[in-house]
Structure 1
Amino acid sequence: MSFPRYPKYKVTGIEWLGDVPEHWEVRRLRQIGPILKGSGGSKEDVVETGLPCVRYGDLYTTHQFFIRQARTNISETRIKDYFEIHFGDVLFAASGEDIEEIGRSAVNLIEGVAYCGGDVIVLRPSVPNFPAFLGYSADSRIAKAQKASMGRGTTIKHIYPSELKGLILPFPPPDEQIRVATFLGRETAKIDALVGEQRRLIGLLKEKRRAVISHAVTRGLDPHTPIKASGIEWLGDVPSHWEVGRMANVFREVAESGVGDLPILSVSIHHGVSDKEFNAEEMDRKVTRSDDRSKYKRVAPGDLVYNMMRAWQGGFGTVTVEGMVSPAYVVARPKTSITTAYVEHLLRTPQAIEQMRRYSRGITDFRLRLYWDEFRNIQIPLPPEQEAVEICRAIKSMDNSFNELTAEAERAIQLLQERRAALISAAVTGKIDVRDIRDQQLTK
């Protein structure tokens, strides 16, 4: 849908902003009100019941444009260390990892007493404004571009009050701000609903994929095949011609020393074993990289590799190329002609993941380790080799279909989010006149 423009515009002299409606004003943040600095203590101050507090990280993860409810509460005995925020204050994250997102902001709409922690910059408006409009405007595309140019630092990016006070925003009269914000609230809600539908679709696809794979690796592909009790509580019935055995029946642990010309491979909880060397930035941060490659473990195609500390989270996979892995990993090599990819698919089922967790040893989840002596005793179904190959082929084909559907939904989400951002930017800069637009099907 196309939108009307304002009858008259004026030149701002600002190249990236262009013209604005004739009756609008262009201001810097310092003309809106004082720029203040938040303060606060540590994570130890967080309690289940206390006074509401907004932390800088919440501006990235929880609040978009508006702060309606604080995610954390602070102990009343520690609140003197924190900065009290008022209704209508705009909070900016003063640090972050992404230069494109530095200074992420939201307007405080919490009724009553609330606070913010350190690494937060606070704009306290002293001129008449409608908070919701300021919430949209201060984190719109034109605002984000300016904030990104103000960011400083390498690994951790920072933005400072001295820079932020120069942020330029166009403002309509307060009564018009209300109409613009009302329009945006209504129309972004429609877009958000469509995004929600696509995300639910992705969730359903993931559930369907898990169910299909789980059935394939435990019951096979033929729905009419006779079944028998496996004797394994977590597994239940299996095809009558399948065998059941322990990991030790089909795998043995190996620990061959690495050699200099082989690539170092990673093991991801999401993607299994990589098929190429990864650089220092991609290294598992919990494993120290050594220049002495003989300390690594050599792996071969068909090996099953798992991270002792993260196996129960999915940190395992099938090796497809010659290479080396961290000495913190266990390398299991097939003793028979078993299809390792089939075993990997089996181990990724929820019930098998739970078995790996049960066999892991440690005081807490963060310290759980799955040693070979425990892993070797996990019982699994063992289909004939050719059938295991066919199951893997079927899973790959099904994966391709699910991936296509998921990618289509993700593209739809991206387009909707781009439309949402463009609509907000156009409305808060006066490129479109929404004063008299009523509820319409703008998202079609």
Structure 2
Amino acid sequence: MVRNLNESSTPSDWRYDYLDKFAKRGSGHTPDKEIPEYWNGGIKWISLADSSKLDNGYIYETDKEISEEGIKNSSAVLHPQGTVVLSRDAGVGKSAVMSSPMAVSQHFIAWRCDNSEKINSWFLYNWLQLMKPEFERQAVGSTIKTIGLPYFKKLKIAAPPIAQQQKIAQILSSWDKAIEKLEALTAAKQKRKKALMQQLLTGKKRFAGFEGEWKTYHLSEIFSERNESGFNDLTLLSITREKGVIPRDEVERKDTSNDDKSKYLRICPGDIGYNTMRMWQGVSALSDLEGIVSPAYTICVPKNNIDAKYASFLFKTPVVMNLFLRYSQGLTSDTWNLKFRHFSEIKITIPEKAEQQKIAFVLSAADIEIETHQKQLSALKEQKKGLMQQLLTGKIRVKLDKEN
């Protein structure tokens, strides 16, 4: 929960006032798209297409560039390096600091912070990050939510003297660097796992001691279907692409399951369940739980010649997902489905079970390592969020170097 400062709770040496009193606010514009001379002129221009690049500190590159002619013949403005930009439309509340002079579209607000005696760019960036939940609450609209410009005219901020702002920004920057380092490590581990899957699950790389030829099977030869219903007393589960098989109440989206669960299917530990209409998108998982799932899922029981964990990895590979797509039935992508009878017809080539288990062990170890990093990353971000709340509201006061 963000604790916003007001005038009465502002520390005595902090200034509480309109943000426009600290930084020069500007909006943006889109030059005429029908005039080629206004585009591709080397001036970076932040548009909705760049929303994914925000919330990561600096913004370095933009999807499109405009020209000096585009600036001259529109309301677009070239903002200096260090300007802080905030999205007021799609991706409401996302912000960044310009790494070089840039212009913005009308979907963004830009604050120039080049008056170093009033506000520091990185202090403002972190304050905007802290205020993001509030910006999201202020956004209105049925399809694309937006914040109107009048809101920003009345936006107030509490800020300490510039030296304290710089110190706060420096402290938070050290956390950002730690987060960035851990994100890069996690991404590297994920890339390594992807390469391992490509090598191990295709036989391009094999472990010592395994030399036998791989064999080709119809999926009906290595799986049977579990089609058991009437277990209403079991826990309702959901099958997800990223989190596997989990209790339905842990899924963030609204519960749309029927009150009548008599036709829901039983799934057991060791089974692989998949979304019948989204198997080709990788929505399948090995279950560690017993429960019931919607009839929209198909439940597969591994036979003795297949290791379930190995199969769960195999089903996520592009080659096999493409097979799932090819064998799915339906006139459009909205109706494509892979019933078990069509699933059964697919052929795959796999090693003996002992080699499957070795491959599954190595890939599972990679998953555990990635999950550990992701938990560390989540904890680090939560810690930073708590620190921001304390530092940016004056609850914890920083000491300047000359005070030590």
- TM-score of the superposed pair, with normalisation by structure 2: 0.65
Matched with 1:237 is none
Q: CA RMSD in A?
A: 5.6
Change (3 A) 1:324 1:189: closer
Which of 277, 281, 294 in structure 2 is aligned with 1:325?
294
CA–CA distance in 1 between the matches of 2:303 and 2:386?
Answer: 55
CA–CA distance in 1 between the matches of 2:51 and 2:364?
Answer: 41
Contact 2:229 2:266 in 1 (8 A): no
Q: Are residue 198 (structure 1) and residue 186 (structure 2) matched? A: no
Q: Deviations over 1:165-207 (max 9, x none)?
A: 231243757xx79xx76x8898877765554443343234335
More off after superposition, 149-158 vs 331-340: 149-158
Q: Are residue 354 (structure 1) and residue 319 (structure 2) matched? A: yes
Deviation at 1:343, TM superposition (A): 1.9
Matched with 1:305 is 273
Contact 2:267 2:273 in 1 (8 A): no
Change (3 A) 1:87 1:375: farther
Contact 2:16 2:157 in 1 (8 A): yes
Which of 68, 88, 92 in structure 1 is aligned with 2:86?
92
Residue ranges of structure 1 left out of the alignment (5+ in a row):
1-11, 231-242, 438-444
Matched with 1:235 is none
Change (3 A) 1:323 1:132: farther
Change (3 A) 1:414 1:117: same
Q: Are residue 28 (structure 1) and residue 18 (structure 2) matched? A: yes
CA–CA distance in 2 between the matches of 1:135 and 1:147?
Answer: 16
CA–CA distance in 2 between the matches of 1:343 and 1:48?
Answer: 50
Counterparts of 1:15-414 in structure 2, within 5 Å, are 16-20=9-13, 26-32=16-22, 49=40, 52-55=44-47, 58=50, 61-62=53-54, 64=56, 66-73=58-65, 84-88=76-80, 90-94=84-88, 103-106=93-96, 110-111=100-101, 114-118=103-107, 120-123=108-111, 129-130=115-116, 133-141=119-127, 144-145=129-130, 148-149=133-134, 151-152=137-138, 159-164=147-152, 165-170=154-159, 172=161, 194-207=178-191, 209=193, 223-230=207-214, 244-253=216-225, 261-274=233-246, 276-278=247-249, 281-282=252-253, 289-291=257-259, 293=261, 298-301=265-268, 302-319=270-287, 320-327=289-296, 329-334=297-302, 338-348=306-316, 350=317, 353-361=318-326, 369=336, 371-372=338-339, 373=342, 376-381=345-350, 383-384=352-353, 387=354, 391=358, 394=361, 398=365, 402=369, 406=373, 410=377, 414=381
Contact 2:28 2:106 in 1 (8 A): yes
Q: Deviations over 1:83-119 (max 9, x none)?
A: 523415643333577xxxx64444556536x23133x
Residue ranges of structure 2 left out of the alignment (5+ in a row):
none
Contact 1:309 1:370 in 2 (8 A): yes
Q: Deviations over 1:141-164 (max 9, x none)?
A: 4x5556655643699976554444
Change (3 A) 1:347 1:260: same
Aligned partner of residue 217 in structure 2, secondary structure: strand
**Structure 1 counterpart of 2:106, which letter?**
G
Deviation at 1:249, TM superposition (A): 0.9
Q: Deviations over 1:391-417 (max 9, x none)?
A: 599459836862575257537854895
Deviation at 1:268, TM superposition (A): 1.5
Aligned partner of residue 380 in structure 1, secondary structure: strand
Aligned partner of residue 138 in structure 2, secondary structure: coil
Change (3 A) 1:208 1:123: closer
Change (3 A) 1:71 1:376: same
Change (3 A) 1:59 1:170: farther
Aligned partner of residue 323 in structure 1, secondary structure: strand
Contact 2:85 2:98 in 1 (8 A): yes
Deviation at 1:135, TM superposition (A): 2.4
Deviation at 1:247, TM superposition (A): 0.9
CA–CA distance in 2 between the matches of 1:48 and 1:257?
Answer: 61
Deviation at 1:316, TM superposition (A): 0.9
Q: Deviations over 1:359-380 (max 9, x none)?
A: 52389x9779573525632213
CA–CA distance in 2 between the matches of 1:115 and 1:40?
Answer: 8
More off after superposition, 65-74 vs 260-269: 65-74
